């Protein structure tokens, strides 16, 4: 009898309902804490940028004293600087100013939580219907999304945009593919690499839709942010990322950061090494995405490969940004499951657990650098597995053709 009961709950539909309920309960409880404790540090940067823009100031050139005065005027004490994001985020928040900083924060974190749940739903639909419960479970047991909500970051919305793009890619909905990448690029500029990928892969219609949506977003934002903010961002976007600085804190999970933690007395060497490793990764990724072969089979793998690479190369990838790794993780897991590669699946499960533990206990292991880079190891492993799967798929295609 108890075996039949377990088997009933293993039904995909019932399991989906159970996992959705678990996610709602978990996120509702977590958001209650986040809102009550007023923790979303990064959100207030977005809100202050919107307020500065509405007052006719550029959030990219505003002085530190003026930034502090703005925070005091708004009654905001939990904030940082500078504003490093595209002007679109500030423009989106301008209409919400009547809610005030705290009211807008509540709406913001709820929207990001809903976006992450919606994103894994789209991922489950993009892979196979039986993978929907797995996608929901991956979000339920992954700590970086909770870190995103704690910081009030935009990564939930970005994750949804990239999941929408992947869904459009797999389902051959070129419009949604282009729209998803355009909205993701407007959230954080790094997904622009995936727009270039569309043209590299000769997906002309989806690429042109992405460009057209970006142009439309820019024109729609101009009345709100003005030409000056647009020009300031275009001029200073690269420098806002501080590419000349090595951020060695364990919350940073990029190649440069890991080298900096490994060689704390040789940060210049770490910066140079990180740049060269990053360049090598870019070249290898471009080569692996060469526009030949069965696009239906290869492009989802290539999409995941690029998303994994984008987490490894920049000067900083904070722990809360690792929610995006769910995309290459689920793409790789689906193919490895089909190929019955249980050992690699076990390795991914172990790295996911270690990545979770990093988020919960990195303060305790900060003195031991070799224990602070498991999330990067997970990203590198995902990149390597997807690269291997792409090569394997191309070889199989050539064998079938001959």
Q: What is the pLDDT of residue 294?
A: 86
Please tell me the pTM assigned to this model: 0.94
Q: What is the pLDDT of residue 370?
A: 82
Place of tokens 């739903």: 121
Distance set, CA 296 to CA 128, 205, 386, 389 (Å): 14, 16, 15, 14
Q: What is the pLDDT of residue 7?
A: 43
> CB of 113 within 8 A of CB of 74?
no
Distance set, CA 291 to CA 56, 81, 198, 249, 298 (Å): 46, 41, 10, 38, 10
CA 278 to chain centre: 18
DSSP 372: S
DSSP 361: H
* Alpha-carbon gap, residue 46 to 49, rounded angstroms: 5
> CB of 287 within 8 A of CB of 217?
no
In order along its 402 residues, the chain shows pLDDT tens digits of: 333 343 444 678 899 999 999 999 999 999 999 999 999 999 999 999 999 999 999 999 999 999 999 999 999 999 988 898 999 999 999 999 999 999 999 999 999 999 999 999 999 999 876 899 999 999 999 999 999 999 999 999 999 999 999 999 999 999 999 999 999 999 998 899 999 999 999 999 999 999 999 999 999 999 999 888 888 888 877 777 778 889 999 999 999 999 999 999 899 999 999 999 999 999 999 999 999 888 889 999 999 999 999 999 999 999 999 999 999 999 999 999 999 999 999 999 999 999 999 999 998 888 888 889 999 999 999 999 999 999 999 998 887 776
* Alpha-carbon gap, residue 329 to 181, rounded angstroms: 19
**Listed residue (186, 177, 238, 234) closest to 214, CA to CA:** 186
Alpha carbons within 13 angstroms on the beta-carbon side of residue 198 total 25
* Alpha-carbon gap, residue 178 to 160, rounded angstroms: 14
CA 265 to chain centre: 31
Q: What is the DSSP string of 241-281?
A: T-TT----STTB-SHHHHHHHH-TT-HHHHHHHHHHHHHHH
């Amino acid at each position: 009898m108890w075996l039949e009961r377990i088997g009933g709950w293993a039904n995909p539909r019932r399991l989906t309902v159970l996992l959705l309920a678990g996610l709602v309960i978990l996120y509702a409880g977590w958001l209650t804490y986040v809102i009550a404790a007023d923790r979303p540090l990064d959100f207030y940067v977005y809100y202050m940028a919107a307020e500065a823009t509405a007052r006719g100031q550029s959030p990219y050139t505003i002085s530190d004293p003026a930034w502090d005065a703005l925070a005091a005027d708004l009654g905001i004490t939990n904030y940082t600087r500078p504003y490093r994001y595209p002007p679109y985020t500030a423009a989106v928040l301008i209409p919400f100013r009547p809610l005030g900083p705290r009211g807008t924060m509540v709406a913001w974190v709820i929207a990001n939580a809903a976006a992450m749940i919606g994103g894994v739903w789209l991922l489950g639909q993009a892979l196979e219907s039986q993978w929907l419960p797995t996608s929901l479970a991956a979000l339920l047991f992954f700590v970086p999304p909770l870190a995103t909500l704690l910081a009030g970051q935009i990564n939930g919305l970005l994750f949804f945009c990239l999941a929408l793009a992947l869904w459009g890619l797999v389902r051959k909905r070129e419009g949604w593919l282009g729209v998803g990448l355009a909205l993701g690029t407007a959230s954080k500029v790094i997904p622009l690499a995936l727009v270039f990928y569309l043209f590299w892969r000769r997906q002309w219609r989806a690429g042109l839709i992405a460009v057209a949506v970006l142009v439309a977003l820019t024109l729609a934002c101009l009345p709100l942010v003005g030409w000056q903010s647009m020009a300031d961002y275009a001029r200073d976007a690269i420098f806002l990322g501080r590419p000349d600085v090595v951020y060695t804190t364990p919350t940073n999970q990029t190649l440069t950061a890991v080298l900096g933690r490994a060689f704390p007395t040789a940060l210049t060497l770490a910066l140079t090494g990180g740049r060269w490793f990053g360049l090598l990764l870019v070249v290898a990724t471009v080569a692996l995405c060469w526009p030949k072969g069965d696009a239906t089979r290869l492009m989802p793998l290539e999409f995941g490969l690029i998303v994994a690479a984008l987490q490894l190369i920049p000067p900083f990838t904070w722990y809360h940004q690792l929610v995006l790794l769910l995309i290459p993780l689920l793409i790789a897991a689906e193919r490895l499951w089909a190929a019955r590669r249980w050992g690699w699946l076990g390795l991914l499960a172990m790295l996911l657990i270690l990545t979770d533990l990093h988020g919960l206990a990195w303060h305790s292991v900060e003195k031991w650098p070799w224990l602070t880079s498991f999330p990067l190891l997970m990203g590198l492993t995902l990149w390597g597995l997807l690269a291997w799967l792409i090569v394997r798929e191309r070889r199989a295609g050539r064998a079938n053709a001959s």
